[in-house]
Amino acid sequence: MVKIRLITISRDFGTDIDEIINKISKKVYGEILDRKRIHEELALEGYDVQELENKEKELEKGVRDPNFIETYKEHVRRIVKKYIEKDSIIFLLGRGGQFLFKDENYSFHINVIAPLSYRIKFLTNKFLLSEEKALELIREKDFSREIFYNTLFLNSWKDPYLYHLIIDRSFFTAEEIEAIIEKVIERQESKIYTLEQLSLPQKPKFANKTEEEFAKILTFYQIRWEYEPRTFPLEWDNDGNVVESFTPD
């Protein structure tokens, strides 16, 4: 059992999840790390933040500099781990946390999504934009973000298997999302199961070698098949237990 120390938040542009996370962080005495905070940390260490920002813009244009990419990843990892050592819950907003910490059992990865109509309405209400301008911004941000992550990690940040939890902002209220994430924090333990502990389908026991070889052929050609049960129930008791069955030779 390992305590959850890091919650990474990925999100569609055009939602209020940052404000929700800020509220949760205050309630649990957590720390929020985002692009600005990481830049501030690097500035304190003597790094040229302007040069870093220029390099980030190049990533958004698909320019790959292998040396910078590895250095950038290491900077983010190092700063996040430094805060984790302070023994508080860390919320990492963006920065590829779902990639950088995907194999760490102390991390929990969340992706907050929302339909285009919700995102447009959110932006028009919050920033008094026209729907046309809001749509333009969403397309611009979505495109640059996709390029950024593809360039940095050679993968799409939309891959659902990167996340433990995907939340549709249009379906849940802010209060409900707070409750969901707080429940994750309260759990405080990340259970890692081995294959032996998981309930996986059992390989059927074939009556003879010919049946087994035929099943392999069907599987190879991606033809769905189902092996007939070896034992056929004939009678059940009142509790649903089989009391009589038939097994063909």
pLDDT of residue 201: 59
**pLDDT given at position 186:** 84
Residues 50 and 129 in one domain: yes
Question: Which residue, 180, 196, 212, sits at the end of a domain?
Answer: 196
In this structure, the answer to whether residues 160 and 37 fall within a common structural domain is yes
Residues 189, 214 within the same domain: no
Please indicate, yes or no, whether residues 67 and 185 belong to a single structural domain of this protein: yes
Q: How many domains does the chain have?
A: 2
Residues 141 and 228 in one domain: no
Domain membership flag for residue 63:
yes
**Domain co-membership, 82 together with 182:** yes
Read off the CATH number of the domain in which 169 is found. 3.40.50.300
Handedness of CA 177, 181, 186, 190 (dihedral sign): positive
Cα–Cα–Cα angle for 59, 66, 142, rounded to 5 degrees = 20
Based on the fold, state whether residues 29 and 50 are members of the same structural domain. Answer: yes
Domain span at residue 177 reads 6-196
Reduce the secondary structure of 99-162 to three states and give it as a string: HHCCCCCCEEEEEEECCHHHHHHHHHHHHCCCHHHHHHHHHHHHHHHHHHHHHHHCCCCCCHHH
Residue 219, in any domain of the structure: yes
pLDDT score for 165: 92
pLDDT of the chain along its 249 residues, tens only?
578 899 999 999 999 999 999 999 999 999 999 999 999 999 998 888 899 888 888 888 888 888 888 989 999 999 999 998 887 899 999 989 999 999 888 899 999 999 999 999 999 998 888 999 999 999 999 998 999 999 988 889 989 999 999 999 999 999 999 999 999 888 755 555 555 555 555 666 666 777 777 777 777 777 776 666 556 566 666 566 666 766 655
- What pLDDT sits at residue 60? 87
- 84 and 20 both lie in a single domain: yes
d(CA 173, CA 77): 32
Structure tokens at 68: 């910078």
Kindly state whether residues 151 and 232 are assigned to the same domain: no
Which of these three, 196, 211, 234, is where a domain ends? Answer: 196
Q: Is 223 in the same domain as 112?
A: no
Do 242 and 151 fall within a single domain? no
Tell whether 154 and 241 lie within a shared domain. no
* Within a domain: 1: no
Is 16:174 a contact under the CB 8 Å cutoff? yes
Domain end call among 159, 177, 196: 196
Each residue of 29-46: b (16+ CB within 10 Å) or e?
A: ebbbbbeebbbebbeeee
Q: At what angle do helices 66-84 and 49-60 cross, to 10 degrees?
A: 120
Position 173 in a domain: yes
Does residue 27 lie within any of the structural domains? yes
- SS3 (DSSP) at 32: strand
